[in-house]
Structure 1
């Protein structure tokens, strides 16, 4: 058992101040469904926890004007069941409804969900790192130690966005849907407030896979903002996993379409379960523009999305699985055009 201090500030400004005062080893916590897990595995070892669940004004769902705004403390289950989101943006509701278990969705917040860490077996089962005598090196957990997944058991690893230092998959469903819709997050820190595109929140592993997010020390996410788009209602989040519930994606696709009859005016496609970050498939989107959508074209677009994929030892199946996941998602979304 590792000792830590705990505070529960009432305002966002007080939370920022508490983090700054705590110094090294401070962590924000809300639902705790990720952080507590990592603490039990001894991957995270916080010395100070700043509980933000009492902060006012961060738990609202607003659909108005030209945007949707979700406070960072809104539970995942609340957005998944919101009638307006279900009707106008099924891709958002489905990405949350198909994540984790109902119990976890009731606890987990949509802000914290964006900051999940990978489910890579070597990252999670090698706590302590090579400096503690562990036999599974992991550059995310112990920078510079190596990556046991490269050449190792890589069935669940990424086929897009890898580097020579890391092949770990970005685990979330919700971030994939947000990337497809060009969402951004509002963050607050000691330097004030700023906005970051969700697509830019995640860092490719490169040579520094332990640096996963584009947040400054002490910054916290306060809200998620999604621009309204006509493609919202003609959308879906389609996920393939080893079992129907409480499982992470082997491949997933968030798709939103703006259609003119059967012709695609604009497509938005993002991929999950196959890349080191939530992956926007811009080439696949371009391949559909101005064309009549058919199952054959949808599958061709899926293959375009994986044209640059690089399989490892055991995860090559993800390329064809991912392409077919994109194709199925496109046809599901297109079917909602006439609904």
Structure 2
């Protein structure tokens, strides 16, 4: 049995102080991921610091941006009137991510920092460099249908499981952080790391830092956004490939602006910067969409069971952009 203490701080400074004083302490949001990991003995904290009540409001600012507290429940964010009208990709991503029961308790901060659902990470009998550095990676040679095709390494081919994060990356979201040295901001697309030689280091968070909020900046094309998730079954499976996109086409039929991010393909939510660069200023045609998808997936590497994801990702990008093109008409 893993014995741990439980703390409920009243502010972020107190929460960070508790974390700093306990090297094995963990911040606790809704617990939909951490409790599972504790049950499987992957995580063995000696203290839980409940941060769900510290920042749980959604502020709509005068400039059209949103400041979403890290303790906001996923359901509250997905059903918020401004999110549904101005950032529909985010609402759709959250609704695609889990059952209503999970969304009702899962928090925004916890969703961002959830760990991979790779079966070998959860299996203490398997080799996993993320769980035990330098032990090897069983996913490389064993069943790897759900694993990465972009940005992976010989040390880890796990994928980040969040749907919400894919939409937030596409919407240029910024995380607000509080740590022992004060506060700072970081673009969400820069928060998560690729595995490289150290897959056990998953984010750019400083020691003991806490996510306090997520800022979604005003985005003129945000209301023309969507999220599509391709999965093995319709009922709350993790993504094989997902695409979050926003598209603005001018009167000449050219791509004025675009945002594009992929899920289910990498160790982090993948911002498709190469595709965006090709699309901007070009005619919004199926051929242009296909060329952009080809460029983004040019460096993709398939494993034994997941090479199909490369073509699937390309086709899903094209399909989503075609859908948004219709909404621009």
Tell me the TM-score normalized by structure 2: 0.96
Contact 2:193 2:268 in 1 (8 A): yes
Query: Aligned-pair distance for 1:152?
Result: 1.7
Distance 1:42 1:266 in 2: 46
Matched, 1:193 2:193: no
Query: Aligned-pair distance for 1:17?
Result: 1.7
Matched, 1:50 2:40: no
Contact 1:302 1:325 in 2 (8 A): no
Contact 2:156 2:199 in 1 (8 A): yes
- Write out aligned runs for 1:89-238 (5 A): 89-124=87-122, 126-127=123-124, 134=125, 136-238=126-228
Distance 1:299 1:285 in 2: 12
Query: Aligned-pair distance for 1:229?
Result: 1.1
Match in the other structure for 2:287? 296
- Write out aligned runs for 1:227-306 (5 A): 227-261=217-251, 262-306=253-297
Contact 1:61 1:71 in 2 (8 A): yes
Structure 2: which 5+ residue stretches go unaligned?
none
Match in the other structure for 2:80? 82
Distance 2:2 2:92 in 1: 38
Between 321-330 and 299-308, the greater mean CA deviation after superposition: 299-308
Distance 1:3 1:304 in 2: 51
Distance 2:323 2:67 in 1: 26
Between 84-93 and 295-304, the greater mean CA deviation after superposition: 295-304
Distance 2:194 2:53 in 1: 33
Q: When the two structures are aligned, how many residues end up with a matched partner?
A: 327
Structure 1: which 5+ residue stretches go unaligned?
128-133
Query: Aligned-pair distance for 1:250?
Result: 0.2
Matched, 1:59 2:56: yes
Query: Aligned-pair distance for 1:336?
Result: 2.7
Match in the other structure for 1:130? none
Contact 2:73 2:104 in 1 (8 A): yes
Between 108-117 and 252-261, the greater mean CA deviation after superposition: 252-261
Distance 1:204 1:280 in 2: 12
Match in the other structure for 2:311? 320
> 1:6-58, CA deviations, whole angstroms, 9 ceiling, x for partnerless residues?
1111111111122223x221001021101001111110001000111232xx1
Tell me the TM-score normalized by structure 1: 0.93
Moved over 6 A (4+): none
